[in-house]
Structure 1
Amino acid sequence: MKNKPFKAIDFFCGAGGMTTGFKKAGVSVTAGIDIDFNCKDTYETNHPESKFIHADIKKLTFNEFERETKIRKKDDKMIFIGCSPCQYFSTIRTKKAKSEESRNLLTDFQRFVKEYTPGYVVIENVPGILTSKESPLNNFINFLKNNHYAIEYKLIRMEEFGIPQSRKRFLLLASRVSKYITLPKETYSPHNTVSDYIHPNLGFPKLKAGAKDFSEKLHTVANLSDTNLKRLSLTEKNGGDRLAYVNNKKLAIPSQFKNSKNFKDTYGRMKWDAPAPTITTKFFSVSNGRFAHPEQNRAISLREGAILQTFEHEYIFKGKSIQSIARQIGNAVPPKMAYAIAKQIVNS
């Protein structure tokens, strides 16, 4: 058993961020499961050796699960990865009815852990899952302890692991095999800034807003209205924000006219010498955060967003629209973080 390779099943796999990092660490990812059919082509294109299972785990039966994965129970070398969608506990709230769907996904995931008792369990989620009074996390942790899993968890900042963005997340590792399990240690790096990843000198040609790239490089940018182009043209390069035109009644957002205190990141530019903000599903839009290019009058491209998420340049994203692909990228766990998690388990 000691020399057998680790295996994993990536629940809520999305575009495959966790799968990518775990594979790089030498873990064989048996399958990825997701309810979102839009990520199927992306996942299968990049991970042909892993089976994509299009399913809602609320409805997925154990018989179906076993048929698709050929899993066996109490496998000491099996890792269950459960990075469930987290809109309900996120500070970036969507419509209540939509976010409600993600409220109890951790409990649904627990059903599979209970049935198959894998050797290891990984949870990555928004910080709110730890702090919310409505969170199922405490029940999940008690369940793991009662089933003889050693556990460690805390809130982490991904920039402290060499990820080029300010991204605070909840991380939990649990092991039924090892008496002690520890989270990966921070790996501080001076090379985790926007400039280190998406500078034009690194192969990102200058673009105008609305430029389309139909190759697999996907250096595609959303279009901008004339008003937004004027706003960006006035915004100071390398970290400027909307205060450049806050007193201009024609250009300021009406609710922010002469208001210099709130929502400074909206329409703001990234800084070359600092990590990017959290790459969300709306990173293609300058109106949804500090997603404007440090110098050019546009939002960052799809490929730039993927690179800031630490996907390789060769990673292929499939989708029918900018919105669809950006959603896959923004929802992913950065592969570099996934690799650190997987190595921690493999080395344990």
Structure 2
Amino acid sequence: MKAIDLFCGAGGFSKGFERAGIDVRYGVDADEAALETFERNHAGEAIHHDIRESPPAELEAVDADIVFGSPPCKGFSDARGNRRLDDERNQLVFSFIQWVGELEPDYVLMENVAGMTTISEAFLEAIEREYADVGYSVTWETLNAADFGVPQTRERAIYVGINDDLSSTPTLPNGEFQPDGDGQLSLTGERMQGWRTVSEAFADLPEPTDDGVVSLPPLSEFPDNEYLRAVRDGAEKTYNHIAKTPADGDATRTIVEGLEPGEMYRSSRFGDRYRQVWDLLEDRFTDVEQDCLHFIARHRTRSAFKMGDKSVGAVPDHKIAHGLDHEN
């Protein structure tokens, strides 16, 4: 099967397709540096092109079975707690769909952050409507990479679509990827009973080195660790294994040591998962300073508290003082 990767970047998505036996003929992106990396690591041809424009003639001539891609996610991500439906980057999803309509593959696969599914019901309806308009039936689900053998809880929205001419219904896998008898990753019919852990994934890593190159210990030392057998794929060395130890007194060290398992350091988000700078470094702030920082983080994106230039995430001091008095 032949495929085209849109918004290919360095080619991580293509790597997965290639491991599944798919021939990725082209990778398309507007980032020349990323395309250079793509060409160094993939047999497919890298094409520098703005996907907001129509596909180049060389792609329209390809009889692609699959078009897949990951439109930019920063406009959807809630990682920074500040996202807008009208962010121009969000419209690239529709550019992706328009290319699908022009290239007319049998199948389409689109991936994005889970935040895309919560930004607006109208936005989700528009996506499905656009796919229908170009002749594709789609379904989507938020999948967690940890359910498929990855030692990380990373949720992603996955859209799968089938050309209406095929008269078939798109479905998503409900299984997990596990190593088979030959050490390769294969899809099984059941989800994992338990997640892989970072401890399992890093079990064979020696101490870091100055140049990042380390020899790996024999797998016989880890007889029960199936994960290592799958990801090693015969490798005896690993690279870029470099670690920087924060200096004594460095705020980074204090923050890392103060986080409990499952917590995230985020001063613009609130809830049980998040810890803020004024909490982790509370000995460096007075009570008044902590109150001010908390107030700014809570209200900096609200129009009533912004300065004249709405692009500036700052809160004038008189509004902080007035707001704190009001809250107290």
TM-score tier, shorter chain, comes to: 0.5 to 0.7
Bigger shift: 155-164 or 86-95?
86-95
SS of structure 2 residue aligned to 1:21: helix
Confirm or deny that 1:51 pairs with 2:45.
yes
Confirm or deny that 1:249 pairs with 2:288.
no
Residues 121 and 174 in structure 1, CA contact (< 8 A), matched pair in contact too:
yes
Give the structure 1 partner of residue 67 of structure 2. Answer: 80
Question: What's the CA shift for 1:214?
Answer: 7.5
In 2, the alpha carbon distance for the partners of 1:159 and 1:45 equals: 29
Give the structure 1 partner of residue 162 of structure 2. Answer: 175
Question: What's the CA shift for 1:131?
Answer: 2.3
Instruction: Describe the superposition over 1:239-265 as per-residue Cα deviations: whole angstroms up to 9, x where unpaired.
Output: 79888x94761499x9769x9xxx9xx
Change (3 A) 1:251 1:20: farther
Confirm or deny that 1:197 pairs with 2:201.
yes
The one-letter code sitting in structure 2 at the alignment partner of 1:179 is S
Confirm or deny that 1:109 pairs with 2:104.
no
In 2, the alpha carbon distance for the partners of 1:135 and 1:82 equals: 22
Give the structure 1 partner of residue 241 of structure 2. Answer: 219
Change (3 A) 1:255 1:33: farther
In 1, the alpha carbon distance for the partners of 2:113 and 2:49 equals: 23
What does residue range 55-70 of structure 1 map to in structure 2 within 5 Å? 55-59=49-53, 61-62=54-55, 65-67=56-58, 69=59
Give the structure 2 partner of residue 12 of structure 1. Answer: 7
Give the structure 1 partner of residue 183 of structure 2. Answer: none
Confirm or deny that 1:71 pairs with 2:80.
no
Question: What's the CA shift for 1:7?
Answer: 1.0
In 1, the alpha carbon distance for the partners of 2:151 and 2:50 equals: 32
Change (3 A) 1:34 1:134: farther
Question: What's the CA shift for 1:82?
Answer: 2.5
Change (3 A) 1:193 1:135: farther
- Which has the greater radius of gyration? 2
Structure having the higher strand fraction is 2
What does residue range 1-348 of structure 1 map to in structure 2 within 5 Å? 6-47=1-42, 49-59=43-53, 61-62=54-55, 65-67=56-58, 69=59, 71-72=61-62, 75=63, 78-93=65-80, 100-133=87-120, 136-176=123-163, 177=166, 179-187=168-176, 188-189=191-192, 190=194, 192-199=196-203, 202-206=204-208, 213=212, 217-221=239-243, 224-225=246-247, 226-228=249-251, 230-231=253-254, 235=258, 246=280, 249-250=283-284
SS of structure 1 residue aligned to 2:89: coil
Structural RMSD (CA)? 3.8
The one-letter code sitting in structure 2 at the alignment partner of 1:102 is R
Change (3 A) 1:66 1:78: farther
Residues 208 and 242 in structure 2, CA contact (< 8 A), matched pair in contact too:
no
In 2, the alpha carbon distance for the partners of 1:130 and 1:237 equals: 29
In 2, the alpha carbon distance for the partners of 1:170 and 1:156 equals: 6
Residues 25 and 45 in structure 2, CA contact (< 8 A), matched pair in contact too:
yes
SS of structure 2 residue aligned to 1:150: strand
Change (3 A) 1:230 1:128: closer
Is there any run of 5+ residues in structure 2 with no aligned partner, and where? 177-190, 215-237, 266-274, 298-328
Question: What's the CA shift for 1:87?
Answer: 0.9
Change (3 A) 1:168 1:101: same
In 2, the alpha carbon distance for the partners of 1:173 and 1:20 equals: 18
In 2, the alpha carbon distance for the partners of 1:14 and 1:40 equals: 6
The normalised TM-score by structure 1 is 0.58
In 2, the alpha carbon distance for the partners of 1:238 and 1:228 equals: 19
In 1, the alpha carbon distance for the partners of 2:87 and 2:29 equals: 17
Change (3 A) 1:146 1:247: closer
Q: Percent identity?
A: 28
Residues 106 and 136 in structure 1, CA contact (< 8 A), matched pair in contact too:
no
Question: What's the CA shift for 1:96?
Answer: 7.2
